[in-house]
Amino acid sequence: MAAASGGDGMTRSGDNATGLLPFHVDGKPAPHQLSSPTSREGARRIRPLASGLRELVLDALRDAGPVSLDGLGGGTIQELAEVVATMRGKPVKETTICGRLGELRKQQLIFNSGRTRMGNGGVQVTVYVHRVHAGEHVRGGVG
Q: Could you tell me the pLDDT band of residue 141, with boundaries at 50, 70 and 90?
A: low
Residue 63 has pLDDT above 90, yes or no: yes
Residue 49 has pLDDT above 90, yes or no: no
Q: Could you tell me the pLDDT band of residue 47, with boundaries at 50, 70 and 90?
A: low
Distance CA(74)–CA(68), nearest Å, equals 9
**Would you state the pLDDT for residue 74?**
95
Q: Say if CB 142 and CB 129 are below 8 A apart.
A: no
**Would you state the pLDDT for residue 136?**
62
**Would you state the pLDDT for residue 32?**
65
Q: Which residues contact 32 (CB under 8 A, 6 or more apart)?
A: 10, 11, 12, 20, 39, 40, 42, 43
What the chain holds in terms of domains, given with CATH numbers, is 4-139 (1.10.10.10)
Indicate whether this model's pTM tops 0.75: no
Residue 19 has pLDDT above 50, yes or no: no
Q: Rounding to the nearest 10 degrees, give the CA dihedral for residues 129, 29, 19, 3.
A: -120
